[in-house]
């Protein structure tokens, strides 16, 4: 498959791509504002909205008691109230909402509420939650072999800890929804969501309506990154509730600060380890303690913490291993999906281990990594008993080391550092292996709907959503290829629960794997019907018919695709079909923690070189080299975009992006003025990114491509470990936490 | 007098009445004009999704500047051309070269930040500077993208290169300004933009409680974030005299209303480090509106120009009515966000002594992110060494106290001493007594203190013939 531009690129650059806030506003539209809790933990003694309701421009207010249905938007478990009931459990929690003729009037009105709180002591950090034993979900243990015996017998042993910070999604388009009431109590919700089906179902439940009374539609998001998987539901529900109450359309767009305070982020983790290894640095046994800060509710934390466990190995064989996973409850925002979904945190733990082993043994970290790689026929079983069948980490890593001159540059860095007392350089080459599939097996399914019209134009719809990753483009490429028609003959349409029901979220990097296959199935069904019509006309068998270059041909005869579509219609052959796909082979037993949760693995590796100012802790990324496996890429330009964007986002997570809460539990970094995602000048001029040409999908994925949404984020780990390398001393293992802000870097220099 | 701003929206004259003088240009575009291409990403001038271009007549051509529409009030458009993403394509829909380059280079993913990038690229494309990598990262420092990792956008900028803009609207634009004072009354709000220092002095004396609005890069946030209602505003941006930059004898005189972007090359020439710092202050969009006068008048403890001006021994020329007085910058800050300004008084000019022979000047901005971040610590050092003895020193710090501060105790520990490591170590020890910084989201007190000490050390290294590099590459 080949590179074509993103389907919306031309409209992105001329400003005519419509996001929800840009859509024509229906007459009578009201604007909603959510009042956020000022306290991290408090009982609500009194909530008086009288003055709110009489404020100018106000049409309605909603609180928990006003909800006709269920006051909960928890995606997997209950516990995420739309509005707080008798208590608030984090600073920023939704307490009530007001709809008025303008957002300014709604905000003014909300300030007039009389609320009395009895303040309760909050639990804010992982350490506090571990000490108090407060958990949102039961603690889990994954065990393989006998780690205690292996540790006891190991010739070398190290204990250590790394704290890995959270991350704000900072999608440029904040959370937004517009709810439009229809006749008979129906509700249409335009939501910037990665999971229209869940918005539909939760809005229906809140309104006490059957699912069929609610339609959720999503044309595009201005960024998602996991932050709109479950977190879009609350704004959508609030808009729908106010629309229901007023019988008027209601728009809710969160201001940036409110968005950052109200909605969940990547989990910060504390990871403790106890590792035994031999003199070559080969891991013999390991005991991990992973503790994730889930916030006040479960949300998706169960699956996220599971994925941290699944990735505690990264590319390395852990023969005897225990992973204990704590899902800590704190009085902070409920943390949620974020590109990698716990995987990055799990991988930071093992990468910290191999770096520490290398430091302790005074070995090159790359050598230690390579010695611990999974094997092909032996040493190829994960802690969850899945055989790694497609391991290319060793060859891919070797290829990158060669092409990026690792050995020469390692020597050059040492020489530079010997001559430079104030500036120090560091280098790290970090590989990654990421499991592809939702670990909740039933979510690995997708549907599509394809129509061919009698002029030969095609309309495509599927359950996946477009958040910038180019999913719509890739799936449209699949359909155009199956029909053998030009790309512009395939119309891409907004995702809507009215066309494809019960869809899974666009998450877990699964978008093109699932929806590409489902759309292919739909297209093939129609194509086979059309082939039958063409075969009859040409007097050949249907197997002899080919669809190429807009022509349907066979037996030396040829007709335009549109002509065969017209003929099919006249022959009373349906030109519309659904398509469906369910990922084969996967299974997992959550009780024993054994199975094959992943269809396959995606691989990549990054080499980063940094320079650190040892007087201030400031640093610059000098060069990056990346080799990443996309199988046979569906669209190399889009895949390169995912790789580069993921790397930079991962780098941001581990360097400048620092979430700071004060002692009372208020988030102090709630806008770009205080929360620093990478800027243009943070990327190096030498930014060498390649798709691994030898990459192959061993499983029957769509055209043998591989998922590329999440894995590249973890390439950013190379920058973190390059910084650790720059400030470290051989033989001395010291704790170095993420994000590596200049302050943390300076702290490491003593 | 003119009671509504006159400006060109694209090529069309607009004179909006019935618009609050604190309505932002972003809200105006999206609600009044129904132009939805310009996006709100943060409403505080930090993400650039709302970037638009202002055209202004500069001789016989139009000079384009990117600004953040989210914190710019509509009256600031008076006499200017406002261009948005809707205005850069050709009338037949043919994309502008920067738009085409963005498509060709795959520079958009989710597309939400893209209109802002297009406008920054448009201004770069039609600017005076050679479009190389440094110019590109400089032009884009104020535009955040969360999807692409920037590489394709940088490529697009380089591919599009530089070209002259169509100058078709010069005459229409030049004709917009009759020299009249803009004076808006809207409900309980008033907004006046005097055209001379004398007029400004008079208006401010009559309305001493009015909010003085320079570039609005902070005042805009009072409105968009703190939701403050500003009743009376006196805008400084139409007082041409306040924008002059001149030398007089051994003094560099900078009008309080001169834009950072205009002052930058001048300061860079005299004090290269000041130029480096200003390149990292805010972003192009911020520097196209922000002024040193505003930075000083705002009295933020973390404003970056104050510590530098303190170290340089700068003075402020203040004025009330016809009465002028001078005050050293370090004496201007009397408390947290409190200044020595009397009611009705304003900053007219900043006077900086030109560098003297033998004077060494170094300044450092330390922040989490290289570009467009607020300093954790900003340190500035001006010194003179004669025969190995430190004969003069002035040290200014930001981020270390409730106001920008002069580190007198440290200066005392150093002055008239041999400029040696031992002396500097004594100065570093004195630093801890001089300041008790706070811990906040930007940095801990301990980090600030250690960095402050180390910056002195670094200044010493750099002025005593350090044998090795002490600075990170600005553009790696």
Q: Is A328 left (phi over 0), alpha (psi -120 to 50) or beta?
A: beta
Same domain, residue pair B155 and B12: yes
Whether the CB-CB separation of A71 and A82 falls below 8 Å is answered with yes
List the single residue in B108, B111, B133 with the smallest CB-CB distance to A685. B133
Q: Looking at residue B114, what is its pLDDT?
A: 98
Q: Is A355 left (phi over 0), alpha (psi -120 to 50) or beta?
A: alpha
CATH of A9-121+169-262, one of 2.40.50.140, 3.40.50.300, 3.30.160.110, 3.90.1170.50: 3.90.1170.50
Whether pLDDT at A155 is above 80: yes
Best of B36, B279, B368 to mutate (most A CBs within 10 Å, chain A): B368
- The C-alpha angle with vertex A496 and arms to B38 and A447, in degrees rounded to 5, equals 130
Cα distance between residue A700 and residue A421, in whole Å: 54
Summarised one tens digit per residue, pLDDT across range A274-326 is: 999 999 999 999 999 999 999 999 999 999 999 999 999 999 999 999 999 99
CATH code given to domain A269-439+590-747:
3.30.365.10
**Residues in chain B, total:** 476
Summarised one tens digit per residue, pLDDT across range A695-707 is: 989 999 999 999 9
Q: Looking at residue B64, what is its pLDDT?
A: 97
Q: Looking at residue A495, what is its pLDDT?
A: 98
Average pLDDT over residues A505-516: 97
A108, A168, A217, A710: which one is catalytic?
A710
| Mean pLDDT score across all residues of chain A | 97
Same domain, residue pair B131 and B204: no
Q: Among B175, B207, B235, which residue terminates a domain? A: B235
Same domain, residue pair B261 and B382: no
Domain boundaries for CATH 3.90.1170.50 within chain A: 9-121+169-262
Average pLDDT over residues B157-163: 97
Cα distance between residue A598 and residue A587, in whole Å: 8
Contact across the interface for B369 and A17, Cβ inside 8 Å: no
In a domain, B209, yes or no: yes
In a domain, B128, yes or no: yes
Domain boundaries for CATH 3.30.365.10 within chain A: 269-439+590-747, 445-582
Same domain, residue pair B337 and B279: yes
In a domain, B281, yes or no: yes
Q: Looking at residue A631, what is its pLDDT?
A: 97
Shortest Cα–Cα distance, A745 to chain B (Å):
11
In a domain, B475, yes or no: no
Helix, strand or coil, per DSSP, at residue B249: coil
Same domain, residue pair B276 and B329: yes
Average pLDDT over residues B429-442: 94
Q: Which residue has the tokens 């506090």?
A: A128
Same domain, residue pair B130 and B228: no
Positive or negative, the Cα torsion across A202, A205, A211, A214? negative
A710: annotated active-site residue: yes
Shortest Cα–Cα distance, A551 to chain B (Å):
29
Whether pLDDT at B476 is above 70: no
Whether pLDDT at B474 is above 80: no
Whether pLDDT at A226 is above 80: yes
Do β-strands A250-253 and A269-277 pair in parallel, antiparallel, or remain unpaired? unpaired
Measured distance between the N- and C-terminal CA atoms of chain B, rounded to whole angstroms: 51
The 8-class DSSP code of residue A3 comes to -
Same domain, residue pair B273 and B389: no
Q: Looking at residue A738, what is its pLDDT?
A: 98
Question: Which residues does residue B390 pair with via DSSP β-bridges, in sequence order?
Answer: B385
Helix, strand or coil, per DSSP, at residue B470: coil
Q: Looking at residue B475, what is its pLDDT?
A: 57
Kindly state the tokens that stand for B462.
Answer: 């750099």
Contact across the interface for A613 and B443, Cβ inside 8 Å: no
A524 Cβ contact partners less than 8 Å away, ≥ 6 residues apart:
A482, A579
Q: Looking at residue B467, what is its pLDDT?
A: 82
Among A8, A4, A254, residue whose Cα is nearest residue B114: A8
A163 Cβ contact partners less than 8 Å away, ≥ 6 residues apart:
A126, A268, A269, A270, A271, A737, A738
Kindly state the helix (H) or strand (E) to which residue A604 belongs, with its residue range: strand A600-613
In a domain, B473, yes or no: no
Summarised one tens digit per residue, pLDDT across range A239-261 is: 999 999 999 999 999 999 999 99
Chain B neighbors of A470, CB-CB under 8 A: 109
Same domain, residue pair B245 and B284: yes
Residue B189: CATH number of its domain:
3.30.43.10
Q: Looking at residue B166, what is its pLDDT?
A: 82
Residue B417: CATH number of its domain:
3.30.390.50
Closest residue, chain A, to B139 (C-alpha): A680
Shortest Cα–Cα distance, B441 to chain A (Å):
6
% residues pLDDT > 70 (chain B): 99
Measured distance between the N- and C-terminal CA atoms of chain A, rounded to whole angstroms: 53
Contact across the interface for A617 and B89, Cβ inside 8 Å: no
Chain B neighbors of A420, CB-CB under 8 A: 468-469
Domain total in chain B: 4
Q: Looking at residue B165, what is its pLDDT?
A: 87
Contact across the interface for A256 and B42, Cβ inside 8 Å: yes
Same domain, residue pair B407 and B436: yes
Q: Among B169, B200, B235, which residue terminates a domain? A: B235
The 8-class DSSP code of residue A693 comes to T
Contact across the interface for A672 and B371, Cβ inside 8 Å: no
Whether the CB-CB separation of A250 and A32 falls below 8 Å is answered with yes
Contact across the interface for B147 and A641, Cβ inside 8 Å: yes
Q: pTM here?
A: 0.98
- Domain range for B377 is 359-463
In a domain, B165, yes or no: no
Shortest Cα–Cα distance, A427 to chain B (Å):
15
Same domain, residue pair B278 and B408: no
Same domain, residue pair B95 and B225: no
Cα distance between residue A632 and residue A644, in whole Å: 18
Residue B298: CATH number of its domain:
3.30.465.10
pLDDT confidence band for A219 (50 / 70 / 90): very high
CATH code given to domain A445-582:
3.30.365.10
Whether pLDDT at B78 is above 60: yes
Q: Which backbone phi and psi does B330 adopt, to 5 degrees? A: -65, -20
Residue B101: CATH number of its domain:
3.10.20.30
Same domain, residue pair B397 and B273: no
pLDDT confidence band for B1 (50 / 70 / 90): confident
Cα distance between residue A97 and residue A52, in whole Å: 10
Average pLDDT over residues A135-162: 98
Helix, strand or coil, per DSSP, at residue A547: strand
In a domain, B175, yes or no: no
Kindly state the tokens that stand for B325.
Answer: 């007085």
pLDDT confidence band for B465 (50 / 70 / 90): confident
């Amino acid at each position: 498959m080949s590179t074509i531009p993103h389907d919306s690129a031309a409209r992105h650059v001329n400003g005519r791509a419509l996001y929800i806030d840009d859509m024509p506003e229906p007459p009578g539209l009201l604007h909603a504002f959510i009042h956020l809790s000022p306290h991290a933990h408090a009982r609500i003694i009194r909530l008086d909205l009288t003055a709110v309701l009489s404020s100018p421009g106000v049409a309605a207010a909603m609180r928990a008691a006003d909800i006709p249905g269920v006051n909960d938007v928890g995606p997997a478990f209950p516990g995420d109230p739309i509005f707080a009931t008798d208590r608030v459990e984090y600073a920023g929690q939704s307490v009530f909402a007001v709809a008025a003729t303008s957002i300014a009037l709604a905000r003014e009105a909300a300030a007039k509420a009389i609320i009395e709180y009895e303040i309760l002591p909050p639990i804010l950090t992982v350490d506090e939650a571990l000490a108090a034993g407060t958990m949102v979900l039961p603690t889990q243990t994954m065990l393989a072999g006998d780690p205690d015996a292996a540790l006891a017998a190991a010739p070398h042993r190290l204990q250590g800890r790394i704290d890995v910070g959270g991350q704000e999604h900072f999608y440029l388009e904040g959370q937004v929804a517009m709810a439009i009431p229809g006749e008979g109590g129906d509700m249409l919700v335009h939501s910037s969501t990665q999971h229209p089906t869940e918005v539909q179902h939760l809005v229906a439940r809140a309104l006490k309506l059957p699912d069929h009374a609610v339609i959720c539609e999503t044309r595009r998001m201005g960024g998602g990154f996991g932050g709109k998987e479950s977190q879009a539901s609350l704004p959508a529900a609030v808009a729908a509730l106010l629309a229901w109450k007023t019988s008027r359309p209601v728009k809710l767009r969160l201001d940036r600060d409110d968005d950052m305070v109200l909605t969940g982020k990547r989990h910060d983790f504390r990871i403790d380890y106890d590792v035994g290894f031999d003199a070559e640095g080969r891991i013999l046994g390991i005991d991990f303690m992973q503790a994730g800060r889930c916030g006040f509710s479960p949300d998706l934390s169960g699956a996220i913490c599971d994925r941290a466990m699944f990735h505690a190995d990264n590319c390395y064989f852990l023969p005897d291993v225990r992973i204990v996973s704590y899902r800590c409850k704190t009085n902070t925002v409920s943390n949620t999906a974020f590109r990698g979904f716990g995987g990055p945190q799990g991988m930071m733990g093992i990468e910290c281990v191999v770096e520490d082993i290398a430091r302790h043994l005074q070995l090159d970290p790359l050598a230690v990594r390579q010695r611990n790689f999974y094997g092909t026929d032996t040493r190829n079983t994960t802690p969850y008993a899945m055989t790694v069948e497609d391991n290319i980490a060793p060859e891919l890593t070797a290829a990158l080391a060669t092409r990026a001159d690792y050995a020469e540059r390692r020597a050059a860095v040492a020489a530079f550092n010997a001559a430079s007392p104030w500036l120090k350089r560091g280098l790290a080459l970090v590989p990654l292996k990421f499991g592809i599939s939702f670990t909740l097996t039933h979510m690995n399914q997708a549907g599509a709907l394809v129509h061919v019209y009698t002029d030969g134009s095609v309309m495509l719809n599927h359950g996946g959503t477009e958040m910038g990753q180019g999913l719509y483009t890739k799936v449209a490429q699949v359909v155009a290829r199956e029909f053998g028609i030009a790309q512009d003959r395939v119309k891409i349409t907004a995702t809507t629960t009215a066309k494809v029901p019960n869809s899974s979220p666009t998450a877990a990097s699964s978008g093109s794997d699932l929806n590409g296959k489902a759309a292919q199935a739909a297209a093939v069904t129609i194509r086979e019907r059309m082939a039958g019509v063409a075969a009859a006309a040409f007097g050949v068998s249907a197997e002899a018919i080919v669809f190429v270059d807009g022509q349907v041909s066979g037996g030396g005869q040829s007709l335009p695709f549109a002509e065969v579509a017209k003929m099919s219609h006249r022959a009373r052959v349906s030109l519309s079909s659904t398509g469906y796909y369910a990922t084969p082979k996967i299974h997992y037993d959550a009780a024993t923690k054994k199975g094959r949760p992943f269809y396959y693995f995606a691989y990549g590796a990054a080499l980063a070189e940094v320079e650190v100012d040892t007087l201030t802790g400031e640093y610059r990324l000098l060069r990056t080299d990346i080799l990443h496996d996309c199988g046979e890429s569906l669209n190399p330009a889009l895949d390169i975009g995912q790789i580069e964007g993921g790397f930079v986002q991962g780098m941001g997570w581990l360097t400048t992006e620092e979430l700071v809460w004060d002692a009372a539990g208020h988030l102090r970094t709630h806008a770009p003025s205080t929360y620093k995602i990478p800027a243009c000048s943070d990327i190096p001029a030498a930014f060498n990114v390649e798709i691994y040409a030898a990459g192959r999908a061993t499983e029957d994925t769509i055209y043998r491509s591989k998922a590329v949404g999440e894995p590249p984020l973890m390439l950013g780990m190379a920058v973190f470990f390059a910084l650790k390398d720059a400030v470290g001393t051989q033989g001395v293992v010291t704790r170095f936490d993420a994000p590596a802000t200049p302050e943390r870097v300076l702290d490491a220099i003593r | 007098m003119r009671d509504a701003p006159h400006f060109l929206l694209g090529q069309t004259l607009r004179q909006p009445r019935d618009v609050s003088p604190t309505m932002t240009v972003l809200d105006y575009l999206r609600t009044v004009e129904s132009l939805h291409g310009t996006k709100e990403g943060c409403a505080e001038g930090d993400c650039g999704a709302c970037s638009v271009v202002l055209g202004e007549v500069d001789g016989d051509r139009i000079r384009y500047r990117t600004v953040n529409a989210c914190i710019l009030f509509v009256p600031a458009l008076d006499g200017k051309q406002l261009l948005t993403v809707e205005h850069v394509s050709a009338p037949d829909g043919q994309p502008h070269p920067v738009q085409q380059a963005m498509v060709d280079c795959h520079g958009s993913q989710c597309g939400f930040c893209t209109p802002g990038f297009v406008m920054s690229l448009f201004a770069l494309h039609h600017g005076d500077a050679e479009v190389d990598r440094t110019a590109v990262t400089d032009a884009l420092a104020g535009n955040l993208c969360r999807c692409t990792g920037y590489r394709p956008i940088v490529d697009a900028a380089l591919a599009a290169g530089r070209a002259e803009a169509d100058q078709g609207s010069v005459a229409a634009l030049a004709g917009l300004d009759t020299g009249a004072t803009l004076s808006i009354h809207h409900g309980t709000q008033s907004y006046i933009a005097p055209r001379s220092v004398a007029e400004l002095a008079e208006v401010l004396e009559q309305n001493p409680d009015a909010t003085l609005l320079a570039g609005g890069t902070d005042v805009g946030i009072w409105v968009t974030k703190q939701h403050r209602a500003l009743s009376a505003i006196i805008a400084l941006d139409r007082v041409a005299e306040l924008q002059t930059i001149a030398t007089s004898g051994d003094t560099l005189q900078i009008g309080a209303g001169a834009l950072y972007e205009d002052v930058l090359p001048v300061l860079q020439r005299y004090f290269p480090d000041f130029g480096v710092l200003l390149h990292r202050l805010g972003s192009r969009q911020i520097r196209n509106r922000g002024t040193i006068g505003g930075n000083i008048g705002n009295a933020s403890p973390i404003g970056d120009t104050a510590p530098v001006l303190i170290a340089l021994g700068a003075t402020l020329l203040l004025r009330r009515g016809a009465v002028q007085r001078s005050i050293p910058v370090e004496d201007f800050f009397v408390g947290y966000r409190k200044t020595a300004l009397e009611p009705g008084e304003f900053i007219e000019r900043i006077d900086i002594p030109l560098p003297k022979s033998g004077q060494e000047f170094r300044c450092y901005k330390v922040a989490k992110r290289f570009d467009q971040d607020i300093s954790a610590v900003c340190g500035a050092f001006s010194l003179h060494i004669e025969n190995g003895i430190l004969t003069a020193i002035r040290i200014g710090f930001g981020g270390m106290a409730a106001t920008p501060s002069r580190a007198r105790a440290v200066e005392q520990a150093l002055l008239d001493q041999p400029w040696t490591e031992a002396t500097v170590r004594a100065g570093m020890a004195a630093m801890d007594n001089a300041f008790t910084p706070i811990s906040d989201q930007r940095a801990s007190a301990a980090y600030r203190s250690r960095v402050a000490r180390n910056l002195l050390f670094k200044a010493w290294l750099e002025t005593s013939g350090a044998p090795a590099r002490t600075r990170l590459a600005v553009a790696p």
